[in-house]
A and B are shown apart, each in its own frame.
Chain A
Amino acid sequence: MGAEGTFRTTAPRVAINAVGRHLPDCPRPLADLPELAGLDEAERLTCHGLGIDTVAVDDGLTAAGLAERAARDALDTAGIPAAALGALILVEPRAPETLISSDATRLQHALGADTALTFSVGGLGCVSSTPALLTARGLLAADPGLGPVLVVHGSKPAAARRYRHPVTVNGDSGLALLLGRPRSAAPVHLLDLVQRTNGRYWDLFGLEYRDRPTAEWREKCSDPPGYSFRLAMETRNRLAELVAELLARNGLTRADIAGYASQNLSAGGLAFIEESLDIALLPSCRDNLRALGHLGANDTFLNLSTALDRKELAEGDLAVLVNVSPVAAWSVLLVETGPPSGPGSIA
């Protein structure tokens, strides 16, 4: 049943010194996805009603390649060599290219981060970036001599089909967060985060692969009414509790929050978050959904960085990032924006 995953911090805030991104140059129109021809009428109607016009598709890169591009972008933005990294944390891909081998040390080798403490975390679907951040914060707090920590994720659907009925269309992306100790010039600081899980949903969505060729892989929901009703309503209650807890333990009220960002599943999903929490999400969420589709664990920080690019948030603003996974897992993060430009810009 429910697991209390809150990590009540006494550690200082964590600086996000750079956000590295890799997005395909030309997102593909939703109507051009080959799988649409094979959908039944109900699936097709749902797919076209998701609020996604184009999808980020990069046929030339695996999840590992997407992660590497984003990692390099973050390091280049911050002007830090990979050899200076204290730790490299890979948020595990939806599906590894090979079993047994290590995607984490593959990235370490590709970057030349030879001395970085390297490993992967995950297990929570789109919420998997949160345990990575919890781990990074713990490492920075535990080891005063540790160098910068790079958290990286390459998001690519496990199956060739990108549509996950009735939820979303999965795109391709890479995103990396370069983390360090607080400093006034950092473009963003992570102040706090709260996470919860409920194991009763562990197999609500799944992809059987052992007994079939990859062309037959399908992401399937084992209980559509359970997803649309029970998990949805539990999500409403959970998120309300988590946001209240996050704000209360930081001495804040809703009036102190300048903006909210969530992951991008569908227009209905964004409206659900807004109505559940009685908030308005930053415009970057709907725009990225429309242009890119769902980018898994990369969505929330991509939405945040887009919002900062567009000055939807100002220096010193507080924002809450909301993540939900049908695993089921929920997390909320409190961040503070810093100077809008300069070395290590988030944009």
Chain B
Amino acid sequence: MSRGSAETLDEITRFLTEALRREVGPDDDYFALGLVDSLFALELVTHVEDRFELTVEVEDLDLDSFRTARRLTAFVHAKKADAETAPVHAGDS
């Protein structure tokens, strides 16, 4: 895991532990543990968007990308990589 990924994983794990008020490991499936309601889902997605400066679109809403801190870390980095490699179209500023 790169240094950037490790930092992201650490940050997401800390957020989850704080938000869920219990220790959450990198591979704990907090959905399977029944810890997620719609308000928490909103809090989680909003945090990821704000902290990592990305937008979670409807087509990104694959539960498997969000069910553990490690998977969420991979999603964040894939999303950031996509944004950096997105083609620039004529007219884009």
CB within 8 Å of A: which B44-76 residues: 45-46, 56-58, 61-63, 66-67
Q: Does B83 contact A (CB under 8 A)?
A: no
What's the minimum C-beta distance from B55 to chain A, rounded to whole angstroms? 9
Interface hub of B34, B45, B46, B61 (most chain A Cβ within 10 A): B61
| Interface residues on chain B, number (Cβ under 8 Å) | 20
Q: Mark A22-47, 1 if CB is under 8 A from B, else 0.
A: 00000000000000000000100000
Could you tell me if A275 and B41 are in contact, using CB atoms closer than 8 angstroms? no
Q: Mark B20-62, 1 if CB is under 8 A from A, else 0.
A: 0000000000011010111111100110000000001110011
What's the minimum C-beta distance from A46 to chain B, rounded to whole angstroms? 8
Number of A-B contacts (CB under 8 A): 54
Could you tell me if A230 and B63 are in contact, using CB atoms closer than 8 angstroms? yes
Could you tell me if B36 and A233 are in contact, using CB atoms closer than 8 angstroms? no
Interface of A is mostly: helix
CB within 8 Å of B: which A240-286 residues: 268-269, 271-272, 275-276
Could you tell me if A233 and B34 are in contact, using CB atoms closer than 8 angstroms? no
Could you tell me if B58 and A234 are in contact, using CB atoms closer than 8 angstroms? yes
Could you tell me if B58 and A237 are in contact, using CB atoms closer than 8 angstroms? yes
Contact residues in B for A226 (Cβ distance below 8 Å): 63
Could you tell me if B41 and A233 are in contact, using CB atoms closer than 8 angstroms? yes
Could you tell me if B45 and A233 are in contact, using CB atoms closer than 8 angstroms? yes
Q: Does A236 contact B (CB under 8 A)?
A: yes
How many A residues are at the interface, by size bracket? Answer: 20 to 34
Could you tell me if B63 and A232 are in contact, using CB atoms closer than 8 angstroms? no
What's the minimum C-beta distance from A146 to chain B, rounded to whole angstroms? 39
Q: A166-B37, A225-B31 are in contact. Are A275 and B42 (CB under 8 A)?
A: yes
What's the minimum C-beta distance from B58 to chain A, rounded to whole angstroms? 5
Could you tell me if A225 and B42 are in contact, using CB atoms closer than 8 angstroms? no
Beyond the given A225-B67, A228-B36, A236-B45, please list 12 additional residue pairs across the A-B interface where CB-CB is below 8 A: A42-B34, A226-B63, A227-B38, A230-B61, A232-B38, A232-B42, A233-B58, A234-B58, A235-B38, A236-B42, A238-B58, A275-B39
